[in-house]
């Protein structure tokens, strides 16, 4: 009997239908996600999923992301850069302290 563990080509699409606009408009919804990712607060199931892939997604230009995740990533990062810069800087410090990956996002998404 052989067992094969195969890694999927993309991250789960289970949370692709989340209304990002609603979360971004409402800091009461947004801040818990940020705190989860910064490991400063509790995580919802979708927050845990996001946190588990964030570093790899940054490093690999979201190569395993679905189209919805790629679009959503740009929307969220753009929002953080332009409207929540303090949190953006904390996330950069945690996940890309050498600024290897975030400069391209900042260049592309800064309003």
Domain presence at residue 26? yes
* Domain of residue 97, CATH code: 1.10.2080.10
Please report the pLDDT score of residue 9 as a whole number: 82
pLDDT band, residue 3 (cuts 50/70/90): very low
- Residue 95: CB partners within 8 Å, gap ≥ 6? 54, 55, 58
* Cα–Cα distance, 65 to 43 (Å, whole number): 20
* Cα–Cα distance, 4 to 60 (Å, whole number): 25
Q: Which ranges constitute the DSSP H helices of the chain?
A: 20-25, 27-37, 45-59, 67-83, 85-95, 102-109
Q: How many domains does the chain have?
A: 1
Domain presence at residue 48? yes
pLDDT digits (tens, 9 = 90+) for 16-67: 899 999 999 999 999 999 999 999 999 999 999 999 999 999 888 899 999 9
- Residue 79: CB partners within 8 Å, gap ≥ 6? 24
Domain range for 53: 20-109
What's the mean per-residue pLDDT of the chain? 90
Statement: residue 68 has pLDDT above 60 = yes
pLDDT band, residue 1 (cuts 50/70/90): very low
Domain presence at residue 43? yes
Domain presence at residue 11? no
Answer for the pair 66, 95: CB distance below 8 angstroms, yes or no: no
Q: Give residue 48's Cα distance to chain centre.
A: 11
């Amino acid at each position: 009997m052989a067992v094969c563990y195969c890694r999927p080509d993309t991250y789960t699409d289970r949370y692709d239908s989340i209304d990002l606009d609603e979360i971004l408009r409402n800091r009461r919804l947004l801040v818990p996600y940020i705190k989860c990712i910064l490991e400063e607060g509790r995580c919802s199931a979708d927050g845990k999923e996001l946190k588990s892939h964030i570093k790899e997604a940054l490093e690999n230009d979201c190569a395993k992301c679905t189209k919805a995740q790629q679009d959503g990533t740009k929307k969220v990062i753009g929002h953080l850069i332009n409207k929540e810069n303090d949190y953006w800087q904390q996330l950069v410090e945690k996940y890309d302290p050498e600024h290897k990956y975030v400069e391209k996002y900042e260049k592309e998404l800064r309003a």
